[in-house]
Structure 1
Amino acid sequence: MTLVRTYLRASTVEQDATRSKQELIAFAKEYNLPIACHYVENVSGRSLNRPELDRLLNDSNEGEILLVESLDRLTRLKKDDWGILKARILAKNLAVVSIDIPTSHQALKPLEGDSMQAGILDAINNMMLDIAAVMSANDYEKRRKRQAEGIANKKGKFTGKKDNFELQGEIAGLLKAGNSYSEIQNLTRASRTTIAKVSKRLKA
């Protein structure tokens, strides 16, 4: 039976890194998959120096599941650093499953169909993980910029025209890639109304 290893991270010691533990346990239980171990640490997602994540990768066996609440718990790394971490994950042939990325859940289900279908699903999931990793890194940069400029609103979103334009560009790219409204909401935190407006403009 495939084992699951959960990774829980918070950026500072003041934050509770274990807050999502019960959610991860319940999620694994839905698929009748046992959790081998929980790996918990308080460290920035921008850093590759993460002892507990290193321990998880060292402990893991080929084909196991690395389960996270959302991909930003695993990475807010810059592109090159994400490439390094992803290579380590692929070297162990681990499947990354993020609760907020529905396409990643395929790794938890019994494989049906031929090897070509499995390859297509893997390719789609890898693409979605890469997109989510880029967005997590971009979100980190935006948060830092927001803090520096002091322009955050109550919802914690940017209000400037440039940032709205960037968000719409991200949405347009995801729509063109064939992602559903729900997937785009999970990845960008945009409202369905905003996604619909971008979709309408693309079809015009």
Structure 2
Amino acid sequence: MSRTIFYARVSTADQSLNLQRTQAEKAGFEIDEVVADHGVSGVSTKLAERPEGKRLFDKLRRGDVLVVRWVDRLGRDYQDVTDTIRNLMRQGVVVKTVINGMVFDGATEDPVQQAVRDALIGFMAATAQAQAEATKAAQRAGIDAAKSDPKRYRGKKPSYDQRGLEQVQSMTASGSGTSEIAKATGLSRQTVLRIKVDPAAAQAALERWSVSEGP
């Protein structure tokens, strides 16, 4: 009997396992089991090397459905993400995303569908890695700036948190429109547009406030 397993990677305090699961259930997924890794980086730690990631591979069987909020939950490294999805498809596991309802199924034999599917896997994996690299660069810049001049004017406090910023970036990469993203995140259209235009600046703004405010 096939099962639907939801995998979550909760890497920061701003993220929430319950929120990720709730989003999946609202999207229509009936989840049989949840597997989650906490405090694990998607950049430096491959899925197969994470404590619960290892258990996930042991659990999945042919015909099962693996649900993730987006491909960045599987990893932020291009090669790792593409290898993971293709390996799961070869094993007969269908991978689905909550955001935009992407489906990666290895059962299709139509060459055009296969080409589109494989191109989409590569694009989404590359986007996840690019977002991670941009975020890291912005974090370093924000931290360095705050340390060098902690009393300087920080600008208006962001109306979003780290989770909201990542959701805007993920949905943007998936092709969602500004209004759709604003509704899903609870942010204004203007805020969503600012993040879309300059995500590095949006990340730096978060860092300025968090560093200046202290623990």
Task: Provide, for residues 123-165 of structure 1, a one-character-per-residue CA deviation record: whole Å limited to 9, x for no partner.
Answer: 23213322322233224423432442246864499xxxxxxxx
- How far apart are residue 76 of structure 1 and its match? 2.8
- How far apart are residue 115 of structure 1 and its match? 0.9
Match of residue 33, structure 2, among 15, 34, 37: 37
Retained in 1: the 8 A contact 2:70–2:98?
Answer: yes
Distance change in 2, residues 1:71/1:156 (3 Å) = farther
Tell me, yes or no, if structure 1 residue 54 matches structure 2 residue 59: no
Distance change in 2, residues 1:44/1:181 (3 Å) = closer
Retained in 2: the 8 A contact 1:17–1:41?
Answer: no
Task: Provide, for residues 24-75 of structure 1, a one-character-per-residue CA deviation record: whole Å limited to 9, x for no partner.
Answer: 123243xxxx433211221222322311122112211235332222333222
Secondary structure, in 3 states, of the residue corresponding to 2:37? Answer: strand
Retained in 2: the 8 A contact 1:18–1:40?
Answer: no
CA distance in 2, matches of 1:25, 1:54: 24
- How far apart are residue 16 of structure 1 and its match? 3.2
Retained in 2: the 8 A contact 1:5–1:66?
Answer: yes
Normalised to the residue count of structure 2, the TM-score between the two structures is 0.55
CA distance in 2, matches of 1:119, 1:20: 29
User: Structure 2 regions of 5+ residues with no counterpart?
Assistant: 147-153, 161-171, 182-190, 198-215
Retained in 2: the 8 A contact 1:4–1:28?
Answer: no
Point out 4+ residue stretches in structure 1 off by more than 6 angstroms.
192-195
CA distance in 2, matches of 1:193, 1:23: 22
- How far apart are residue 2 of structure 1 and its match? 5.6
2:6 corresponds in structure 1 to 6
One-letter code aligned to 1:90: R
User: Structure 1 regions of 5+ residues with no counterpart?
Assistant: 158-170, 196-204
